[in-house]
Amino acid sequence: MSKIVVVGVNHAGTACINTILDNYSNEEVVAFDGNSNISFLGCGMALWIGRQIKGPEGLFYSSKEKLEEKGATIHMECEVNRIDYEQKKVFAKDIHGNEHEESYDKLILASGSLPIIPNLPGKDLENVQQVKLFQNAKEVIEKLEYQAIQDIVVVGAGYIGVELAEAFKRVDKNVTLIDIADTTLSGYYDPDFTCLMDKNMEEHKITLALNQKVVEIKGTTKCEAVVTDKATYKADMVILAIGFKPNTSLGADQLKLFKNGAFEVDEHQETSMKDVYAIGDCATVYDNASDAKSYIALATNAVRSGIVAAHNACGTPLASIGVQGSNAISVFGLNLVSTGMSVKKATALGFDVAFTDYEDYQKASFIESNNEKVRIKIVYDKKSRVILGAQLASRHDISLGIHMFSLAIQEKVTIDKLKLLDTFFLPHFNQPYNYITMAALNAK
């Protein structure tokens, strides 16, 4: 029997622990987490805040009790403050001041990520909120009950910021969304797709303050306004949703780091030190679209990395097949999905990029009800013709289509292979010459 210590028990850590306990009966698992809860699905936070779901209960899929029933030892509200990599020991202190020392044979770091908090004047004022943990969402919801909170400013127009802007508007607040970029969702989609979301937000009376830099949050004890380099916006609450950074303080001076500070790992999730693995938001991934190591913080990537590390730590070789960064957002009925690289990102990375796009109705024209338009863009390399990315937008649920493109990128499928792809046709679902086929046929 060997002892495996896991530092961090959210998505990556939970997947890792479950994989070990479900497949290896002779392994001892001890885990530490500084939080009071496990497995909170932050992607559902906006649904809870916007009252689209009844409560937070369904946003948890595991717990200390569930993992301990399987045989693990779980220390909650217990912060790991030091790791002796030479002696293979982990040191931690719990909420009651008790100190813990645990030796290990294999160590799995699942320390996650931390919110990026800009060094702004006024960032510590009351009602300036973070939005990552269950406790953050709970605090925001409790404060929304106060009549005094009517004007909410969200800083950051990535996925979380856009979703939260929708949530606050759904509970009848005045919402301003600020970002230094000139469009929402600029890190995921090209402008012809982001403009759809911009229009969608404005149609729902959300004020977009784009291409603006926040310079100050004003107030005495509570926030009162957000000042940018172009304007001032009234704010009874400010949400900082700028992004996240890998939490790697426990190994920054011992393990090799990626350019953004994440732990660099190989295809087995092992770090630069033998018997030490890193998973989830604290670690790199291999991006099949760019054929290079990257940092893509998604719960799906975290779960996969936890499974891979678990098997390798238990002596069963298993290599990651890489990721494509597949993602999606649905706001006020508008669905955007993407995988791989946008034209903007591929060009920035030095690819000689081409793309093909198309727009048509999802179903045959004689289907008069529940028939929405779909816009698609397929990005590919000019020389090799290999698909690098895809983006789709519709008010119809077109999300399953992105899985095919994810596999296409992983397997280096060319755009020309899609031209005569055997896709089925039935008027209830699609058209005989559907948007995927037509986009591929239009590729030059």
Helix axes of 11-23 and 299-313: crossing angle, nearest 10 degrees: 40
CA 283, CA 301: separation in Å to the nearest integer? 10
- Give the DSSP per-residue string, 356-420: EEEEEESS-TT--SS--EEEEEEEEETTT-BEEEEEEEESS--TTHHHHHHHHHHTT-BGGGGTT
DSSP 8-state class, residue 203:
H
State whether residue 274 is helix, strand or coil.
coil
What does 301-361 look like in DSSP terms, one character per residue? HHHHHHHHHHHHHTT-------B---EEEEETTEEEEEEE--HHHHHHTT--EEEEEEEEE
Distance CA 227, CA 283 (A): 35
The residue from 11, 16, 75, 311 that is catalytic is 11
In angstroms, the CA 354 to CA 346 distance is 10
Q: Which residues of 243-277 are buried (b: 16+ CB within 10 A; e: fewer)?
A: ebbbbbebbeeebebbeeebbbbeeebbbeeebbb
CA 13 – CA 285 distance, rounded (Å): 16
| Residue 288: Cβ within 10 Å count | 21
DSSP 8-63: --SHHHHHHHHHHHHH-TT-EEEEE-SSS-S-B-GGGHHHHHTTSSS-SGGGB---
Whole-angstrom Cα distance, residue 196 to residue 184? Answer: 10
Q: Does the annotation mark 11 as catalytic?
A: yes
Residue pair 189/391 in contact by the 8 Å Cβ criterion: yes
Q: Is 403 a catalytic residue?
A: no
Query: Pick the catalytic residue: 43, 100, 314, 396?
Result: 43
Which residues are known catalytic residues?
11, 43
